[in-house]
Copies of this chain bind each other. A is one copy, B any other.
Amino acid sequence: MEVSLIAYTPEPERTVAAAARLCYSSQDPHKLLDGMNEEKAVALVSKLTAMGHFSPFEHVSFTFAINGISRATSHQLVRHRIASYSQRSQRYVGEENFDYVIPPSIARNEVLRDKYETLMAEIAQVYAQLASSVPAEDARYVLPNACETAIVCTFNTRSLYNLLAHRLCLRAQWEIRNVAEKMLEQVRAVAPTLFAEAGASCETTGICPEGSYSCGRIESIKNRNGAES
């Protein structure tokens, strides 16, 4: 899997901060922007995050190129509706030599892994036979969820926070959690303050929307915070 930040709104924190200041200021927006240096921007963005005032975060968006994820995961990804997607099409692109993802739980078991790989080879063979007789869009019906895809996607910061809150949860599946981790790593590299508070709900709010019953992370957060105080 490869996740790369290929484009984003320049000077993300300064842009957000200038927009946020406008709501509470009688100054000309152009002057606001001129007067907004890095230091002031960082201070204001931190305050916005602390107060949960996320609407100015929407002015900044991030575009990722993602490669080598399964169609199982892209199906989960595109369910985030406040975002834009361009995905490699199995209707128009032949998949004769498709690559595929192997879940770690299968990869580490030699017997299962063998069965899995053998099946993938067979699917590829049948796909090739079908694709020589019927349209690619029909041949693809045999392709597995494991089949790798590529997708370019764009999220504004607020929508990305939402994705991260859901997909960094330990109950999210390992593959999309992996995508989310890489996204967060990359946006934090260019906008550390903007994403200082992004993460799973339990990490950011101390609340588990799944009802705490499952993963134990919230207890470890509480213990850690208890130990800190």
Contacts and interface: CB of A to CB of B under 8 A. Distances in A.
A30 B4 contact: yes
A136 B93 CA distance: 29
Contacts of A9: 7-9, 61, 63
A134 B130 CA distance: 31
A23 B92 contact: yes
A157 to B, nearest CB: 10
Nearest to A56: B86
Interface residues of A, number: 94
Given A115-B129, A141-B144, A145-B141, A18 B6 contact: yes
Contacts of A140: 72, 145
A151 to B, nearest CB: 7
Interface stretch (A77-85, A180-188, A189-197): A77-85
A139 to B, nearest CB: 8
A126 B29 CA distance: 27
A84 B165 CA distance: 20
Given A24-B92, A24-B93, A116-B126, A29 B173 contact: no
A106 B122 contact: no
Contacts of A37: none
A158 B13 CA distance: 25
B156 A134 contact: no
The binding surface of chain A is classed by DSSP as mixed
A229 interface: no
A146 to B, nearest CB: 4
A150 interface: yes
A199 B75 CA distance: 27
Interface string A113-129: 00110011011001001
A217 interface: no
A10 interface: yes
B122 A119 contact: yes
CB-based closest 3 A-B pairs: A58-B84, A29-B65, A103-B138
Given A20-B86, A84-B156, 9 more contacts: A6-B33, A28-B150, A29-B151, A51-B210, A58-B154, A59-B152, A112-B134, A119-B122, A143-B144
